Amino acid sequence: MGSNRKSKLSIPVFPSSTCPPCFSEQERQHTVLQRRYADELPLEINKNKFEYALKSNEAWANYKGHQNPAFFQKLAVKQTPSILWLGCSDSRVPETTLLGLQPGDVFVHRNIANIISPTDINSMAVIEYAVVHLKVKHIVLCGHTCCGGAGAAMGDARVGGVIDAWITPMRLLRKINKVELEALGDDGKKAVRLAELNVGWGVGNLMSTWFVEEAIEERGLTVHGVMYDVACGKIRNLEIGTEGKDVVSSLARGPTEIIKGNHGVLVFSRGEPTIDAQ
């Protein structure tokens, strides 16, 4: 049985990036380079990238089989990943590639803006399977710079029916942290900070999930919150989670209004909403 402990995370404020910023001028230059690269691709690749992808896969499989004849046979027996990676669907953040790992090393769940909500049975099913059945040793929740979901959540303009509903938690985080975000001034820095706060909220939800709590206590499962910098390809540890210094168990103080659901609670304290998971 899991405890009723609720985790509230204080996310350290880091510089938005240890690499050049990925907004404004750099973003424009990146677009120019993308177009130039696309123009330089062989004509047949441009015409049918899917066919090219199939041929590339065949070449990769042949190479891996030649390099290690038992590679695929071992994978076919079972999977024993050490890491559960929870990330964004963004095509620029391919976990196995950026970690320098191999097939079988990482169990993966990705969605728009790497939102981990206790009411999302899709992500919860993946997390439960990884923790309870595969017994992964590490959970890594990764946000990233240049996140379209974070950018959309910085405003209230309608994106689309399902997407608007999906990024609602991030828009709530924006409102909760309005003063801090407004002080940053630059829209790019605001979006990066919101992405960091979203990672913190997700880590709190993870650590309040009963099977994650049990695995932490019984076998030393670790939970990490990190940010990937698209502009330089490096991961930055946010120092939150099981080994961080900023995990504080607390309840909302002051006059409160509590709205309970099946899997979580929304607490309004002095008019400001906070989210906790049961």
276 labelled as ligand-binding?
A: no
Bridge partner list, 241: 224
Contact call for residues 38 and 46 (beta carbons, < 8 A): yes
Give the burial class of 106: count Cβ atoms within 10 A of its Cβ; 0-12 exposed, 13-18 middle, 19 or more buried. buried
Tokens of 29: 């230059």
Sign, CA torsion 213/215/216/217: positive
Note if 22 is an active site residue.
no
| Collapsed DSSP state (helix, strand, coil) of residue 108 | strand
Contact call for residues 137 and 221 (beta carbons, < 8 A): yes
Q: Which of 88, 146, 174, 229 is catalytic?
A: 88
Note if 147 is an active site residue.
yes
Tokens of 193: 């900070």
142 labelled as ligand-binding?
A: no
Q: Which of 19, 30, 92, 263 is catalytic?
A: 92
138 labelled as ligand-binding?
A: no
What is the Cα gyration radius of the chain?
21
Note if 144 is an active site residue.
yes
Q: Which of 22, 120, 144, 229 is catalytic?
A: 144
144 labelled as ligand-binding?
A: yes
Q: Measuring CA to CA, which residue among 66, 135, 143, 70 is closest to residue 107?
A: 135
The most distant pair of C-alpha atoms in the chain lies apart, rounded to whole Å, by 67
Binding region for Zn(2+):
88, 90, 144, 147
In the annotated binding site, the residues are 88, 90, 144, 147
Residues annotated catalytic, as ranges: 88, 90, 92, 144, 147
